[in-house]
Structure formats: structure tokens, C-alpha cells
A = this chain, B = another copy of it.
Amino acid sequence: MNLPGEVVIKEVGPRDGLQNEKLLVPTEHKISWINQLSSTGLTYIEFSAFVSPKWIPALADAAAVAKGIDHVQGVTYAALVPNQRGLERALEASVDEVSVFLSASETHNRKNINKSIDETFQVLADVASGAKTAGKTVRGYVSTVFGCPFEGNIKLEEVIRVIESLLEIGISEVSLGDTIGVANPRQVAETLDVLLKRYPSESLALHFHDTGGMALANILVALEMGIKTFDASVGGLGGCPYAPGAAGNVATDDLINMLHAMDIHTGVDAPKLISSARFIQEKLGKKLTSRKLQACQT
């Protein structure tokens, strides 16, 4: 097997995970949790989103979280930003990196952002420009790359069009999202086969949800094809409010378990990570879905 020696995991639980929870986790618990995550060896934590509290009430305290957490050397603290107002708040809060987002599906983009893809780009271009002027790197999420709850299959040329536009506005890394967890290994191989002829593997990350349980199989394929950056969420937290039935992100704990078993270095301490998963599980008062967490509980 052609596997890399090292992989970067971008922890998105505090943002992508919590944004879907009905229960509002108190700010002090979020801070405590993110500090635990910072101590696991993770080098990237998307800690919140500077979006309107009307859209995502669960993340209304982004500024207070940014202020309260320890900013550990060597860890990038990123936040999602939808527009200029969000960027201003993110810069005030001294984030290390800004993430922008849009969908490869016109319908999903409209449901999620209330704009067409082209209209969204005009906003994102300003955000990216402003962030870079302030000395920040910008990451771009593309949703529904492998399937849309409204449109079904998304043509690869649509995905390429969105990636091109993101790279043009100076995005440093594009994270390709399987928002509803329908990607299969053959599809991942076929998609990457096309994309990696156009873009260097360092410019792409993969972001799998685990609705069908195929996330680790998909990651395996991507690893073999040269992708070395993956988004994940402790305990398998997450979902999508505009994608009914979708499960959470691939669980960071399951991902590092597979990677470490294959002698792939992540720098993450597995027992500390499981502790942090248990912590947020207890605060949410519900069983999270990661296999590793379930196995430890029996």
C-alpha cells in the first residue's frame, strides 16, 4: 500500500459538530473542551463561526470562546466566516485562520447561504482579500462535492469551477466536503484522479461525514492517492441542518485509531483525545457515535 508517513487532522468538532446541536453548550464548557483538544497534539482546531446568531445560535459566543481559550503555540485556531461582518468580528478576536464556505450544488448553496454560487463568490472574494490584508490565511470549504440532498449527483465540472474560483481569490487550501455522507470509495478515487491532475495534493483536504459508515474507507482511498489532510470531529459530532438525516463528521478518534494502527503519524495522543470526546459527550448528555468511544464504554 502506498500510504504517507504523516497526516494532518483538522479538528472541526467545536464548529461543525456543535453547530448542529440543539443543546447550547455553555461558553465555559466549550473553552474547557477546546483547551483539552489543544493538549492532545492536534495542530488545527476550528473553534467556532462568526455567523449571525440568528443562523447558528449554538455558536453565538464565538468571540467569548476566542477570548477564553488558551492559544497554544503550534496550534492554529480557525473560525468560519460567511461575510465582511463576520470577518471583522473574527479579526477582532485574533483568529489565526479564516474559513469560508460555499456549495458545489446551486440548490444546496441557496438553501444554506441564501445566495447563488456566483453571488456567494463576490462576498467570499472580499472576505479573502480582507483576511489576507490582515495577514491571515484563508481556507475554503466546498459542500456537497460527492452528492447533494436536493440535486443528487454533482457534476465534477461544477466542483472544478468552484475550486478554480476559490484558488483565484487566494484560498490556500480547499476542503472537499461529503456533506451528507454518501461518497463511496470508487467515487472518491475517480474524483481525485481528475482533481489531482489539476491541483497539487497539498492544496486539497477531504471532509467526510459518516452517514453510510464509509468515511474511513474513503479516507483510505484518498491517502493512497496522496491526500494528507483530513477534517474530523471528536466523537463523530456533527451533521448538517440543511441535509436531513446526515450523520456527523468522521470521528477524530476513529480516524487516528486507523492511522496509528497503520503506522501513520498524526501527533495526536489517543487517550487524551478519547477523554476530550467523553467530556463533550457528557456535556451534550447523549451518546456520540464514534466506534472507538462506544467500544471504550462497554
Q: Mark A261-278, 1 if CB is under 8 A from B, else 0.
A: 111000000000000000
Per a CB cutoff under 8 Å, which of B3, B182, B185 touches A220?
Answer: B185
Q: Which of A6-14, A157-165, A198-206, A211-219 contacts B (4 or more CB under 8 A)?
A: A211-219
Kindly state whether residue A231 has any CB partner on chain B within 8 Å. Answer: no
A63 at the interface (CB under 8 A from B): no
**Cβ of B186 and Cβ of A263 under 8 Å apart?**
yes
CA distance A244 to B211 in the complex (A): 27
Name the contact of A245 in the complex, choosing from B1, B261, B298 (C-beta under 8 A).
B298
Closest CB in chain B relative to A229 CB, distance in Å: 18
One of A47-55, A78-86, A251-259 at the interface: A251-259
A1 contacts B189, CB within 8 Å? yes
Q: Contact at A295–B263, with CB atoms within 8 Å?
A: no
Does A247 contact B294, Cβ atoms closer than 8 Å? yes
A289 within 8 A of B: yes
Q: Mark A165-185, 1 if CB is under 8 A from B, else 0.
A: 000000000000000011011
**Interface residue? A210 (CB, 8 A):** yes
Q: Among B3, B182, B187, B291, which residue has its beta carbon within 8 angstroms of that of A213? A: B291
Number of residues in A with C-beta < 8 Å to the partner?
A: 38
Is A291 a contact partner of B247 (Cβ separation < 8 A)?
yes
Cβ of A99 within 8 Å of any chain B Cβ, yes or no, is: no
Copies in the complex: 2
Question: B211 and A258: CB pair below 8 A?
Answer: no
A254 CB contact (under 8 Å) in B186, B213, B262, B292: B213
Q: Which residues of B contact A144 (CB under 8 A)?
A: none
A109 CB–B CB distance under 8 Å:
no
CB A103 to nearest CB in B, in angstroms, measures 21
- Contact of A290 with B by CB under 8 A: yes
Question: Which chain B residue has the least Cβ–Cβ distance from A246?
Answer: B295
B213 touches A251 (CB 8 A): yes
Known contacts A212-B291, A213-B257, A247-B291; 18 additional CB pairs below 8 A are A1-B186, A3-B186, A185-B258, A185-B262, A187-B261, A211-B291, A211-B295, A212-B254, A213-B213, A213-B254, A214-B254, A214-B257, A216-B216, A216-B217, A217-B217, A217-B220, A220-B220, A247-B294
Residues of A within 8 A of B (CB): 1, 3, 181-182, 184-187, 189, 210-214, 216-217, 219-221, 244-247, 251, 254, 257-258, 261-263, 289-292, 294-296, 298
A-B contact pairs, 6 of them (CB 8 A): A182-B261, A184-B258, A185-B220, A185-B262, A216-B217, A217-B219
